[in-house]
Structure 1
Amino acid sequence: MSDLSSSTITIDAPLADVQGALFALGQYPTWSSAIKSSEVVESDDQGRATKVKMTIDAGMMKDRVILDYDWSKAPGQLTFSLDDADLLTGMDGSYSIKAIDEDTTQVTYELGVSLSMPIPAMMRQKAEKATIDQALAQLKAALEA
């Protein structure tokens, strides 16, 4: 797997609200235009999604993926990895969430993808960064509305 691209954003919303949005994996299409569909396939004994099927259309990155979610570092961090996809051969990432104060939260999103076709690293990293920045901006807009 390649190095991860990342960005951080500050959201004017309480930590619990941000975690609520990020942890509701089946609801991603309500705030992320890149996630066309999101279906929870498996959950753990606490009701948290552990396997999610998504249809992604993030410009250059278009695919149907199944992601495995790891809650071992929650609630401060939620990580995911690729289980299966049509085109991608790897997809790893995480959301790290921390309170700045009671009404402000910082989110760092890391993402790394590997493709089944040869793409120059610079183009892949540019696409990862654009995907991250768009997701964080849309999360911020949804939570601050």
Structure 2
Amino acid sequence: MAVSGVKEFEIKADPATVMAAIAAVDRLPEWSSAHKSVTIESTHDDGRPHRVRMSVSILGISDEQVVDYTFEGDDTVSWHLVESGQQNAQDGSYVLTESGAGTKVTFELTVDPKIPLPGFLVKKAQKTALETASKGLTKFVESL
């Protein structure tokens, strides 16, 4: 059963700064407690990450994942799951819009676990991911 979630939040920085922080995927473990290690396997021509391997643990469930990132300027980054031991699919994105206070961030995530999990557990994991994306990323960007 796939679950989707959306979280909107503001970061007091310009979109280019926020995108640079998001593109620094090798630093994900600094602001996302779910990410234990991240290895960039290939990059796009502009140096931003393309294929990324990561070790993730959320709510006691560990996974090795490979995702492909796609960037659209400094406005949008999305990723698509290529390999995973625990998920059939995962698609996510950050869409950045300049706002008076800095940058409005819209984070979307859809996850389809391989193993049937109780609904409350899937929703708790989703909530954790959405909160990490907003609070962790905001703190990381504003500390740069």
**Offset of residue 45 of structure 1:** 1.9
Equivalent residue letter for 2:128:
A
Give RMSD over aligned pairs.
Answer: 1.8
Superposed CA deviations along residues 101-140 of structure 1, whole A, max 9, x for unmatched, are 3x51111111111111112445323321221112210111
Aligned sequence identity (%): 29
Aligned to 2:54: 54
Q: Which residue of 1 aligns with 2:114?
A: 116
Gaps of 5+ in 1: none
- Give the structure 2 partner of residue 84 of structure 1: 83
- The alignment partner of 2:74 has SS state of coil
Letter in 1 for 2:34: A
- Matched residues in 1 for 2:56 and 2:64: separation? 6
Code of the aligned partner of 1:97:
L
TM-score (norm 1): 0.87
Report the Cα offset of residue 76 of structure 1.
1.2
- Displacement after TM superposition at 1:61 (Å): 4.6
Find the aligned partners of 1:90 and 1:104 in 2 and give their Cα distance: 32
Structure 2 alignment gaps of length 5 or more? none
For 2:51 and 2:130, the matched residues in 1 are separated by 21
Q: Which moved more, 1:4-13 or 1:126-135?
A: 126-135
Shift of 1:17: 1.6
Give the direction of change, closer, same or farther, for the CA distance of 1:92–1:61 in structure 2 (3 Å limit).
farther
- C-alpha contact (below 8 Å) 2:64/2:84 kept by paired residues: yes
Q: How much has 1:60 moved relative to structure 2?
A: 4.9
- Match in the other structure for 2:139: 141
CA deviation digits over 1:31-65, x for unaligned, max 9?
22221111110112222211000111222553110
* 1:64-103: CA deviation from partner (whole Å, max 9, x where unpaired): 10001122x33211111110011111111111111103x5
Count of aligned pairs: 143
In structure 1, C-alpha distance between the alignment counterparts of 2:89 and 2:61, rounded to whole Å = 12
CA distance in 1, matches of 2:130, 2:10: 14
Superposed counterparts of 1:10-25, under 5 Å: 10-25=10-25
